[in-house]
Chains A and B, each alone.
Chain A
Amino acid sequence: MVELLVVLHIPIHQLHLMQDFLKMQLNRILKYGNETQELLKWASRSGNLGLRVLWLILHFAVTIWYFLLGVVQSFESFLIACDILTKYEALDISKVRYLAMVIDSEEAQELSKVFELLQWVADIGVKSVCLYDPEGVLKKNKEPITQRFSSANLSEEAAVNGRLVTRRNLTLEFVSFEDGKEAVAKAANYLFVKHYANGTKEKSDFTEPQMAEALGAIGSGGAEPDLLLIYGPTRCHLGFPAWRLRYTEIVHMGPLKSMSYGSLVKAIFKYTMVHQNYVTSSCGTSMMRKIDLTDAASIVCILLRMFFFDCRTKVKRYLLACMSN
């Protein structure tokens, strides 16, 4: 087996990526298996049998669709990570001044995944990241996470999955649910003390800058992120502070355990392209659609190349090597 891989000239990091790709599909099958069980439980309640069967068929069709879409997307991520789909290399990271990531609290307990994700984000060139999980799991683990990405470790290199990576400096902010609604309540009390406490009622309404100042004063200030990536089972921001979410682009990346470098690069690339199109045209959506079609065409071309040309050549080489032995 090792000879085969050596003769096929497959780099070690691509092997790891292939392994991750297969693990992801397995996780996907398990996830949809659990979801199907939930749906069956719901359908087993009383009611018209015909309607329940139709409902299950409808959901089954949706599950198949999402499964196939997931396989195509993870294959595309694999191609991006292997540097086969090269158009995403032209990423202008300066357009992402502040990146936020919402991570499901249960999944955030797996710190190794969080470290890996942050390493990818740093490798892409992002400098400032806001990490949010509703229950504050990441906040509780602030020390180890910050230490890993602080400036003291700038020159450290490590081999991760066969790729040599340099630990980079990241400015990290840790936010949880209490920095949302509770913080606004505290800011309201701050404003009350500041403007009403001398016993006279001020006539003018509070302004947005005053609110921002109040939030800063109670320790829940912070910039509005350009892009928010959700790592969780559902496209839902789980209570990210409302005051900082007004015009943020929100992208759902799927569960943390299915995260991939390729999908991260693609999401950031898409954001920079759409952001660019707000400057050049008013039809950002049609540009986004064109990118998706180009992606699909690229994948089909690569599949053709791989299965009808490269693989044939490589299999020939292997057979020749075996015959000469």
Chain B
Amino acid sequence: MDEDSSSISRVLSVGPVPDHIAFIMDGNRRYAKKRNLLDGAGHRSGYLALMNMLKYCYELGVKYATIYAFSIDNFRRRPEEVQSTMQLILEKIEDLIKEESMVNQYGVRIYFLGSLKLLSKPVRLAAERAMVATSGNSKSVLSICLAYTSSDEILHAVQECCGEKWDEGSALESKGAGNGLVFLKGNENGKIKPSIVVKDLEKHMYAAVAPDPDIIIRTSGETRLSNFLLWQSANCLLYAPPILWPEIGLWHLIWAVLDFQRNFSYLKEKTKLS
């Protein structure tokens, strides 16, 4: 399998290779039902599929990979299911930090994107440990979206920008250099200078650690983005193969990359225009 993937990588590298691929790993539970497995077994098969896909990506030369591991909406599932998923996530984060894991083999730096304060303490601490342990790696990047939604990310960025502007304004005011342009005094209107721009928001997005994705792959044939990377996917190819996540393999990735290469000049032109 490794020989196959490295020969295919050499052929695909003739054309433009995507810099960043994102995955929505949909279909683990349906896979478990289809194969009459226990509930958590679908997610475990999904983890194995994920490790394979990441290896193929990094061997192909894709530097950034982002995965949608757990959405804020998923907290609404049954508490036992959320608990067992969190347990699995904790276990797998510990596995990733180990010396012999794929992460160190490919020099992967891990980031966790999302409202980590919504996670339980053990998971949050494990995530922080993983980020510190891999901070020295620089060959590739893996962004794991945990307790993440795009709308929460946008709100967070807006909140941070407002806080930043307020701090700037307070600093000016305290130095006596403020001239009423940052804050309204009393109820006066119209003297505010709009100062938050798109660049400020993008700086505060969780996903600012990586460039915008080139391809988003969502399995199980669903055609929604489900609140994932909505801000970053303006000029991104969306690919939705009708297989369940644990069934994904090298050929699906190859198909996605071939599609990307066929549409490369169009997507590049659209990125320049925006």
- Where the two chains meet, the residues of A that have a C-beta atom closer than 8 Å to any C-beta of B are 35, 38-39, 42-43, 47, 51-52, 54-55, 58-59, 62-63, 134-135, 177, 180-182, 184-189, 191-193, 195-199, 201, 205-208, 211, 233-239, 242-243, 245-252, 282-285, 288-289
Contacts and interface: CB of A to CB of B under 8 A. Distances in A.
B117 to A, nearest CB: 11
B231 interface: yes
Contacts of A63: 262
Contacts of B267: 234, 236
B125 interface: no
A267 to B, nearest CB: 10
A284 B26 CA distance: 13
Contact of B154 (A51, A186, A242): A242
B222 A285 contact: yes
A283 B220 CA distance: 10
Contacts of B222: 284-285
B162 interface: yes
Interface string B128-162: 00000000000000000000011100110011011
Nearest to B153: A242
Contact of B223 (A197, A249, A282): A249
B61 interface: no
Which bucket holds chain B's interface residue count? Answer: 35 or more
Nearest to A239: B234
The 8 closest A-B pairs by CB, nearest first: A242-B230, A239-B234, A55-B14, A189-B194, A197-B184, A188-B158, A188-B196, A234-B263
Contact of B150 (A186, A188, A246): A246
A208 B152 CA distance: 8
Contacts of A251: 223
Given A206-B158, A208-B151, A245 B225 contact: yes
Nearest to A187: B158
A35 B262 contact: yes
A192 B165 CA distance: 9
B273 A245 contact: no
B120 interface: no
24 contacts: A35-B262, A39-B262, A43-B14, A43-B15, A52-B14, A54-B11, A59-B258, A62-B255, A134-B273, A185-B200, A185-B201, A199-B183, A199-B185, A206-B155, A207-B155, A208-B155, A234-B263, A237-B238, A239-B234, A242-B230, A242-B231, A249-B224, A250-B224, A284-B222
